[in-house]
Structure 1
């Protein structure tokens, strides 16, 4: 089997990332040499690859679904928003300046060459490449400089399927409209549709799907059900109700309640997914001081803009609530940007985030932070709370220690992070994915809060993630026309697909 496929979406968060992961896993389970590819991602959820670069977390997860180590080859361009109008640009895993929405357009022609060459190279290294679009191809105002949707599909002659989220409503109009606004040469590559997150009896949807095929000449290749057990890493958004995961009931009498502050520019918020994999651990994102009341553990997660998010923490009243929580002896954990907020000062002499200046931290740890121009990337290992741990680092801030007790001792003996009993902090992402370390943290939380909570000795976060990927593959196998998928991957889009004129066209 050889070929490629592009999964586009009617909107952001329509299900592209999970569908790509599911198709990749389905193929890999059949022995196919398959790899993921996303030409351009926009996300502050990223990981550090073994080849030393930075890519979107969704592509790292898709690589795992394929049985591959994450690589910069799977996501050559990553945009990390620092504000509503500017983003840091990461090319081949390394920072390559910042852009506004308008100035980015000027870079697109050169980036199109980079991503098309990267896709071509990947196709020589693997039998099948499953590509993920970005946003929606219906954003026709961006089509002239598109490098991730139909621009990529046209450059690589990629057959394309469009997925829509029926849970949002109007999915048939979204699917039809996405196709109808495309120019004819783009439409010629769109070969079918997928409906995502359907609840109820599929027979009720059949008349609509039949009408959609009559209108467009393209079949719906399957209807994926709403899977309540699916909590795999979110790429574009957090759960609408703020809840994370589907934890099993507690082993003791009490739940542990974790409140994760949803910072305006939160990055790598998926760090807390591992907590929600534990029985009896309820994890929820919060945005108001009142939501910290009764929390056993408060988490300050990573941030793309630490200084401005710290200012928001103060203006929202959450800083006062966080300090009161910590000073009452209740557990607090800061990760990366959230850890930097815990120190004495944050100095940005080069204006890495905004205007140069020094800013007061929360003062909960004896260390300061200075921002370096170059980003610190790494996959360190060490020891924390008596457990061997591994993680990854993505930050500009460098800690200047003034006697802070470390949380981690790196493999070369260097101190890292903060451990002052109820207040913990680290620059390392992924620490909570280490099962032994996570158990030690939860044991400490239970002891400090007096909860009757027992940690599971059998929970494996890696196994839980594997089970999620297998669930995605099962959904693909059971609910999609996999024979049609194979045909598209191997033979491309069928010739002579109907051109659908946009509404109002003569």
Structure 2
């Protein structure tokens, strides 16, 4: 086998990331050397790669499904919103420029070579590349500038499978409409459909799928059932609308964790490991009363530390965080959340606000620099019994600690993080994925609160592997994997019919003259 396939969607959050991971895991089990790819990702959940770059968190998880380390070629363009109508654009793992939508689309001629070069590189080193689309394949207003869906498929001559989420309703219409809005040359690459998150007896759906085949000349390659507990690393905030599952407690009590849902929340997958512990209930909230009464509050990362800090003050959440700290309520800040907990932020880079007062709960001053820190870390947690620790940094801010106690130690010998009383902060994402660190922190919180809570025994890494295995199982059981492998090897079949109307009129290209 040698080739690639694009798994596109009728909309955002239809399951493209999850199904891509499942297909990757299935192929890897067959002994096929496979890699994931997403040309352009808009996400604030990111990961650091082995080659020192930054990519979308979902692509790092898909790489894990393939059994390979993540690398920058798997997500050559990462768009990270920083404010209304502005984003930081990361190209091949490094920040390249800040832009608005029109300026970004005007750069297509510069960005497409980076995309095609990264895809060609992966295809040259792997038997199969499973590509994930972005948003909807039929965003016809963006088609002239498209890098991630049909623009990519056309440029690479790649077969496409379109995915719809039947749980949100209208899946059959969405599949037909997505195909019909594509111009004939794009339609020629769409070889089939997948229906995701179906509940009930799939035989009820069969007449509709057969009509869809008659109307389009394309088969449905499978119907995936709705499955709880997969909790795949999310890439956008739509995932926050679905509550994290709560595992039954081992002991009599449970720990209640409130995660502040910041407007530009980033790397919120940091708390996934907490939710994997029995008897730990994790919820995202904007309610000050939730913050006051929780056993632990997590102030997560953000792509706009100063802007989201101002939002905390406007909403009363800042006051609630300060109040709980004054009464000994445990609070953990990660990256941007850590920066907010300090005395002062000096930012002439991200928000360009200059000197801004922090919440004053940690003796830390944070200054922002143009050069972004991108690093993987290993070390220990002297502040939590010396457990093995580690994580990764993605930040412009550089905290300077002026007191308190460091609770992490990098293998290089550098102290990391700051704790004062019941308030803890660190620049390391992923530190809670280390089992002994997470469990010691939760045990201390339970003990101080008088709770009889007991930790689980399953390593979080094993939990994640099991989730990926479940995705591979679902793909093997419910998709026509032979047809998928044939598409990867041979491309879309010739002579596929054009579904009327066969494409919307092409919009005028955005140019400098049209601004």
TM-score tier by shorter-chain length is: over 0.9
**CA distance in structure 1 between the partners assigned to 2:197 and 2:424 by the alignment:** 38
Task: Find the counterpart in structure 2 of residue 368 from structure 1.
Answer: 365
Task: Find the counterpart in structure 2 of residue 404 from structure 1.
Answer: 404
Q: What whole-Å deviation, never above 9, does each CA across 1:143-176 have from its counterpart, x for those lacking one? A: 1111111111011111000001111111111111
> Which residues in structure 2 correspond to 1:294-313 (within 5 Å)?
294-313=293-312
Residue pair 1:406, 1:415 contacting (<8 A) in 2 also? yes
SS of alignment partner, residue 394 of structure 1: strand
TM score, norm. by length of structure 1: 0.97
Task: Find the counterpart in structure 2 of residue 463 from structure 1.
Answer: 462
Residue 188 of structure 1 deviates from its aligned partner by: 0.2
Task: Find the counterpart in structure 2 of residue 495 from structure 1.
Answer: 494
> Which residues in structure 2 correspond to 1:163-202 (within 5 Å)?
163-202=163-202
Residue 181 of structure 1 deviates from its aligned partner by: 0.5
**CA distance in structure 2 between the partners assigned to 1:237 and 1:30 by the alignment:** 33
Q: Is 1:472 aligned to 2:471, yes or no?
A: yes
Residue 374 of structure 1 deviates from its aligned partner by: 0.8
Residue 235 of structure 1 deviates from its aligned partner by: 1.7
CA distance 1:23–1:503, change in 2 (3 Å) = closer
**CA distance in structure 2 between the partners assigned to 1:111 and 1:242 by the alignment:** 34
Residue 239 of structure 1 deviates from its aligned partner by: 4.1
> Which residues in structure 2 correspond to 1:86-485 (within 5 Å)?
86-239=86-239, 241=241, 243-244=243-244, 246-348=245-347, 350=348, 352-384=349-381, 385=384, 386-456=386-456, 458-485=457-484
**CA distance in structure 1 between the partners assigned to 2:242 and 2:346 by the alignment:** 32
Residue pair 2:379, 2:390 contacting (<8 A) in 1 also? yes
**CA distance in structure 1 between the partners assigned to 2:240 and 2:413 by the alignment:** 42
Residue pair 1:365, 1:404 contacting (<8 A) in 2 also? yes
SS of alignment partner, residue 253 of structure 1: coil
SS of alignment partner, residue 82 of structure 1: strand
**CA distance in structure 2 between the partners assigned to 1:50 and 1:218 by the alignment:** 40
Q: What whole-Å deviation, never above 9, does each CA across 1:287-319 have from its counterpart, x for those lacking one? A: 111222431000000000000000001101111
Residue 194 of structure 1 deviates from its aligned partner by: 0.4
Deviates more, 1:260-269 or 1:483-492: 483-492
Q: What whole-Å deviation, never above 9, does each CA across 1:325-354 have from its counterpart, x for those lacking one? A: 111111100000000000001011x3x122
SS of alignment partner, residue 243 of structure 1: coil
RMSD of Structure 2 on Structure 1 (CA):
1.4
Residue 381 of structure 1 deviates from its aligned partner by: 1.6
Q: What whole-Å deviation, never above 9, does each CA across 1:368-410 have from its counterpart, x for those lacking one? A: 1111111111001221121121100001111122113112122
**CA distance in structure 1 between the partners assigned to 2:353 and 2:331 by the alignment:** 29
**CA distance in structure 2 between the partners assigned to 1:257 and 1:436 by the alignment:** 19
Residue 420 of structure 1 deviates from its aligned partner by: 2.0
Where do 5+ consecutive residues of structure 1 fail to align?
Answer: none
**CA distance in structure 2 between the partners assigned to 1:210 and 1:334 by the alignment:** 52
CA distance 1:387–1:421, change in 2 (3 Å) = farther
**CA distance in structure 2 between the partners assigned to 1:242 and 1:326 by the alignment:** 29
**CA distance in structure 2 between the partners assigned to 1:240 and 1:45 by the alignment:** 12
Residue 412 of structure 1 deviates from its aligned partner by: 2.3
**CA distance in structure 2 between the partners assigned to 1:399 and 1:140 by the alignment:** 44
* Structure 1 moving runs of 4+ over 6 Å: 503-506
Residue pair 1:150, 1:186 contacting (<8 A) in 2 also? yes
Task: Find the counterpart in structure 1 of residue 64 from structure 2.
Answer: 64
**CA distance in structure 1 between the partners assigned to 2:292 and 2:88 by the alignment:** 36
SS of alignment partner, residue 109 of structure 1: helix
Task: Find the counterpart in structure 1 of residue 511 from structure 2.
Answer: none
Residue 490 of structure 1 deviates from its aligned partner by: 1.1
**CA distance in structure 1 between the partners assigned to 2:167 and 2:87 by the alignment:** 30
TM score, norm. by length of structure 2: 0.95
Where do 5+ consecutive residues of structure 2 fail to align?
Answer: 506-515
SS of alignment partner, residue 179 of structure 2: helix
**CA distance in structure 2 between the partners assigned to 1:373 and 1:478 by the alignment:** 49
**CA distance in structure 2 between the partners assigned to 1:207 and 1:485 by the alignment:** 23
Deviates more, 1:302-311 or 1:112-121: 112-121
Q: Is 1:24 aligned to 2:24, yes or no?
A: yes
**CA distance in structure 1 between the partners assigned to 2:399 and 2:503 by the alignment:** 60
Residue 142 of structure 1 deviates from its aligned partner by: 0.7
**CA distance in structure 1 between the partners assigned to 2:444 and 2:155 by the alignment:** 54
